[in-house]
Amino acid sequence: MSIDRQAFPMDGRFLLVLVAAILSIGAAGCNRGPKIVPARGIVVFEDGTPVKVGTVETKHTELEGVQARGSIQEDGTFVLGTFSEVDGAAVGKHRCVVVQFVMVEDVPGFKPSTQGVVNSVHASYATSGLAIDIPEDGTSELKLVVRGIPSRGGKRGHGEHQELPEGAVPETP
């Protein structure tokens, strides 16, 4: 069986174009996305008291769709993760929110605890005002300072806590 050289020219130009095409297809599939580096920090109230529960979520300001998140520990610390739980965050500037799920008792006349509750202004990217900058070599010095829910007396702070007195019977409407 012989190959017709007219139908399949195998000169140097054809091979060069073929190799270039294969390499460009391979290179396009090798894009690994943004550079992810270690990123950890702490969330505190304005008075320096650590936020003990919640989640820090971030959105990169230049790389659309690149986000990171980390659970806040009892000492206020968090570790960000982008593709896995604690792999870090993309290098660059991020907008941040602090999100908490707060249970509300369904007891008439009972005012639920606001102690340790972050002001809801920090739960929206539109209003939080929180931002971080992740350097090329990563960081463990991120610090987010948040406002708490004001006490019922109007004082700034991070709320107060009310317990039902022992033996108290909840009011019924």
Q: pLDDT 10s per residue in the chain (173 long)?
A: 555 555 555 566 665 555 555 555 544 445 578 999 999 999 999 999 999 999 999 999 999 999 999 999 999 999 999 999 999 999 999 999 999 986 666 666 656 556 689 999 999 999 999 999 999 999 999 999 999 987 655 554 554 444 444 554 444 43
* Domains with residue ranges and CATH for the chain: 36-146 (2.60.40.1120)
How far is CA 54 from each of CA 3, 9, 17, 57, 100, rounded to the nearest angstrom? 70, 66, 55, 10, 4
- The vertex-128 CA angle with 124 and 133, nearest 5°, equals 115
Reported pTM: 0.68
